[in-house]
Amino acid sequence: MRVIIIDDHALFRDGLKGLLEQRSIDVAGVAADGKEGIELAKQIQPDIILLDLRMPNMGGLDTLPVLRKELPTTPVVMLTTSNDESDLIKALRTGAQGYLLKDMEPEELVGALRDIENGKNVVAADLTDVLARMVQGETTIDDDDGPFSELTPRETEILCLLAEGQSNKLIARNLGISDGTVKLHVKAILRKLNIHSRVEAAVMAVEHGLRKKENS
């Protein structure tokens, strides 16, 4: 795995670089700000980009959409001290594939990076309840003018289950369809909503009050 680190704190960059390299993760480059990080990422084409949230001049939330545009298939992971809900939601909505905290244990960080390398979306354990709390109390949207108007009924149903945090395997079991069929539907959902990850889809669904209708 080849990663780059974009962070304005030199001591943290150096410490993280050493920590990752001790665990057989290749740190292919480091950058001190967003602008430098974007150019570095384009040059190196890493497997994962580790991006700090708060940086002078060009912060992580400003850098993230540019990285998503320039390197749409490269996972970007926010690595920050901020456990603010709004920062988490903004990062996920903008396309971050992970949101991790700097005070997590080294082995947890490495495990999270391995999961992200394998295509998973990872949020720090301390923040996983944030999305769950958002789901509670939301109301169903029935209008056809929202961002989900192009989704088929089945896609909408699967999106609701994504918003509940269900995996493809569990969705397949609940709906009586194959894992492969669920994956195809998820891909269609992401394409129609013009987003990059299932986490973004879940966040969008929750923010717009979309939830599974209760059986009457």
Domain residue extents for the chain: 2-131, 137-207
pLDDT at 155 over 80: yes
- To which residue do tokens 């670089």 refer? 17
pLDDT at 71 over 90: yes
pLDDT number for residue 165: 81
**Backbone angles phi and psi of 144, in degrees to 5:** -100, 5
d(CA 156, CA 211): 9
pLDDT at 214 over 70: no
Both tokens assigned to 201: 């889809």
Both tokens assigned to 26: 């290749």
Q: Same topology for domains 2-131 and 137-207, yes or no?
A: no
How distant is the alpha carbon of residue 19 from its chain centre? 23
| Residue 127 binned pLDDT confidence (cut-offs 50, 70, 90) | confident
Q: What is the DSSP string of 3-41?
A: EEEE-S-HHHHHHHHHHHHHTT-EEEEEESSHHHHHHHH
Provide the 8-state DSSP code for 104.
S
Across 24-28, 96-100, 188-192, 212-216, least confident range: 212-216
pLDDT at 129 over 80: no
| Higher per-residue confidence, 148 vs 54 | 54
Closest CA to 100 of 131, 71, 128, 78: 78
User: Domain spanning 137-207 has what CATH number?
Assistant: 1.10.10.10
Domain made up of 2-131: CATH architecture? 3-Layer(aba) Sandwich (3.40)
DSSP SS3 for 128:
helix
d(CA 72, CA 191): 13
How distant is the alpha carbon of residue 50 from its chain centre? 12
Under a CB-based contact definition with an 8 Å cutoff, are residues 44 and 28 in contact? yes
Beta bridge partners of 134: none
Average pLDDT value for the chain:
84
pLDDT number for residue 133: 53
